[in-house]
Amino acid sequence: MMRKTAGMAAVLMSAAVLIMQSLQGCTPFFWTSKSQTLLTSGKMVGRNTIQGDTDIFYRDLWDAVYMVSRIKGVIRQESRARGYIQLDVLSTIMDIRIIRMTKKINRLRITVKNEGEPRIDMAKEVFSKAIAEGARLSEK
């Protein structure tokens, strides 16, 4: 049984490497746990937006995003059902969306709105922390 699981993990990692090579400008994130390998690729899709797809459960991803949002700033609006949080972080408005792509894949999209230069570094930080926390919650 253990041998079969290790073989499956190796196949998944090989497939992920091939997929990542075709995604130019993406930042891959890998988390491994006892039962699964989580794969998320994050990329900038605009001057002020970062997004990525993940196989973290919607419930766990929402809990992670909510927790990180409460730590980072003040939540202005939220809707768990719509997968939406609007956050005020250091005079920057951050819109966070969780979009169900398929039954197993969810998309996390973070957009920052600022008067001056977009603070994409803040979006990247929230994105990576939310994915890491979501992966931790998923393995429980």
Q: Alpha-carbon distance 135 to 47, whole Å?
A: 27
pLDDT of residue 99: 95
pLDDT of residue 32: 45
pLDDT at 128 over 70: yes
Full set of structural domains in the chain with CATH: 2-138 (3.30.310.200)
pLDDT class for 42, splitting at 50, 70, 90?
low
pLDDT of residue 46: 80
Q: Over the chain, what HEC string results? A: CHHHHHHHHHHHHHHHHHHHHHCCCEEEEEEECCCCEEEEEEEEEECCEEEEEECCCHHHHHHHHHHHHHHHCEEEEEECCCCEEEEEECCEEEEEEEEECCCCCEEEEEEEECCCCCCHHHHHHHHHHHHHHHHHHHCC
pLDDT of residue 69: 94
Terminal alpha carbon distance of the chain: 21
pLDDT tens string 81-111: 999 999 998 888 999 999 999 888 999 999 9
Residue whose pair of structure tokens reads 């990247």 in the numeric block: 124
For the question of whether the overall pTM of this predicted structure is more than 0.75, the answer is no
State how far Cα 118 lies from the chain centre. 19
pLDDT class for 40, splitting at 50, 70, 90?
low
pLDDT tens string 1-39: 445 555 555 545 544 544 444 444 444 444 444 444 444
pLDDT at 71 over 70: yes
Question: In angstroms, what is the C-alpha Rg of the chain?
Answer: 16
What are φ and ψ of residue 101, in 5° steps?
A: -90, -50
- State percent of the chain over pLDDT 70: 67
Ranking 13-17, 56-60, 65-69, 124-128 by mean pLDDT, the lowest is 13-17
Q: Alpha-carbon distance 131 to 95, whole Å?
A: 16
